[in-house]
Structure formats: C-alpha cells, structure tokens
Structure 1
C-alpha cells in the first residue's frame, strides 16, 4: 500500500519539478530539493515492498494431514486384522521408520460398524462393501497410525504396494506378505484429501504428536 501511493507521488513531483525550470535558479533549486525528497520516499517504498512483507509459499492446503508437499505432510495408515493376526505389525512399522518417516499417532482398536462404514464410504456401492465392513469389524483389532514426512502419502502407497497383491512389486509390504486382494494386510491414504478425512475420522487432533523431532529428522528432510 505504501509503495502504491509513494510511486505515483514521485512521478507527479517529477513533472512539477521540470515545469519550473523556466522560473530561474531559485525555482530550479526548489524543484531539485522536491525531487530528491520524492526519490527518497519512493525508494523507501520499494524497499518496504521488497523486504517488509514476507514471501510465503504454500505447497498445498494445511489440514490435520499437515501441509501437502512439506515435511509436515501426514498419511493415515492402518494395519488390517489379517496383519495384526499374523503378528507382523512390528515389521510393517519398521519399514516406515527405516524410510525416515515420523510416527505421530498409533492405537489398537476394534472398529465399530459405523466407523468402518464411514471409512469405506467411497466403496459403498461395490458388491464387496458389506463383506469388507464385516471383516474389518470382526473383533481382531486394527492398528491405526499417522505417519509424517515429505511426500509420505505417495511414498507410503509405494511402500504398501498395489491393492491387488498379485500386482504388488516384491519388496513392498503386499508384495512380500500377501496373496489375496481380500486379505491385503494394510491401508494407506491415497491423497491429501483422503488423509485429511481418515486422520480426522480415526484420531482427535490432540492425539497427534507432531511437535517432536526424531534425532535425524532435519538431516533426513533436508533439501541440500
């Protein structure tokens, strides 16, 4: 605002100064003093515009799932009843930890019918929806987690592998542990929007430990 008002004033002052040249030496001196003052004002305005207003670049929307494209990005990851039953929870967690991601929340829970239905609401019209809800609420707990770090949503999906284990690459969780699509061990958010919904569905914001830093966090997340 200051720059927008000062610069037009500088231009007007310049015109007035040049118009006084025929008025004699005294007029010229006055004009030069006026121009000098106006130049200082305009220069100060430009400096204020360049340095006083911070430049903020946001990669994406900031929600309970953090800010997309930054080290605060978060994903919801859930080990399903088959993963819990097979006692491979620790191995799955260690894969995310070895990659460098931060565990912000974790709990073991037997989902209610209402929670399971809401979580899978986008599949409500699929023929397997009822069976999926029944399985997730079978009584064996799921392990609900929130992981944080740069590109964790996309990279988390890569760690998990393709939905159908028969298409999952060896080295991925599903590629190493699964055979049937009906028992594919794990769920991970597929977008920032779904992460926002799913984290908010399974966790209260107060349950997320987002302020602490793992010992190598700054080194892992650095860009240079």
Structure 2
C-alpha cells in the first residue's frame, strides 16, 4: 500500500455545529494521521482559488458565500490510499444519497451544507493543500509520497 496525502476541510456548518472533534475522532480511528491542521476564516480570493473549477456555474456565488460564512478547519491527512479512503468516509455530496455511517450520511443537512470537503484525486489534493499549507507546515513521515 502507498502512503498518500490528501486535503480535508470541515466546512462552516460542521464547525458551527461542533462536529470538529467527532470528525477528527473518525479519521484517527480509521488509522489516518493528521499531519497539518489550522482553523481559519477564508477570504474571497482563497475561496475562489479553492473552487475555481466551479467558476461560471450557477451555484458558484452561493458556494463562495457559504464557505465565507464562518471559520473552517483545514487539514492534511496522511495514510494508505488516503484520497480514496477519505472520499469513502465522507460519503456522497448529497446527504440523501450518502450512506449511513459516512460523515455526510450521519451529519449533513443539505447538498449545500454538507459538513466536509475532501480532495477527489491526488492531483487535486496536492493543489488544495498548497493553497492552505507550506511544505514546512507538514509534519511528514519520510515514507509519504
């Protein structure tokens, strides 16, 4: 198995609803390691950079407004096949389609307020991590790629 890094963000609704500890607990119980973490309030420029693939879509402005509505918790997660493991753990974007036992299946209230974001590919993980963290901020195991 390959140790991998991925980017995870607890969104404003997850922070507001005090789900940070629960989410971190689930990650740790799954054997994933948090190698960097910070709570912040995103500015518009950063939010647009994070969601640039959605620019021009009908929901873009609502997405930006939502992500700017409160603090978020950004993390870099390390573990075997971390990208795919995290995607399975968070569940489908729409909580009506998310399986019970996934983070969204258990906690998300709507498609727009769905508690958590996780990168969907190693390439996106690298790009998204670089928006929020420098290499010096990562507490890495020398085996990680």
TM-score range, shorter chain: over 0.9
User: Displacement of 1:179 after TM fit?
Assistant: 2.8
Structure 2 Cα separation of the partners of residues 130 and 93 of structure 1: 29
Give the length in aligned residue pairs: 143
Which residue among 40, 59, 81 is the counterpart of 1:109?
40
Q: Which has the higher contact order (CA 8 A, sep 6+)?
A: 2
Q: Which runs of 5+ in 1 are unaligned?
A: 1-68, 214-224
Structure 2 Cα separation of the partners of residues 159 and 190 of structure 1: 12
1:48 paired residue number: none
User: Displacement of 1:154 after TM fit?
Assistant: 0.3
Q: CA RMSD in A?
A: 1.4
Q: Which is richer in strand? A: 2
Whether 1:70 aligns to 2:5 is no
Instruction: Give the alignment's TM-score, normalised by structure 2.
Output: 0.95
Would you identify which runs of 4 or more consecutive aligned residues in structure 1 move more than 3 Å?
A: none
1:168 paired residue number: 98
Which residue among 111, 132, 135 is the counterpart of 1:181?
111
User: Displacement of 1:212 after TM fit?
Assistant: 8.2
Instruction: Give the alignment's TM-score, normalised by structure 1.
Output: 0.62
- Higher Cα Rg: structure 1 or 2? 1
1:222 paired residue number: none
Whether 1:210 aligns to 2:130 is no
Whether 1:152 aligns to 2:76 is no
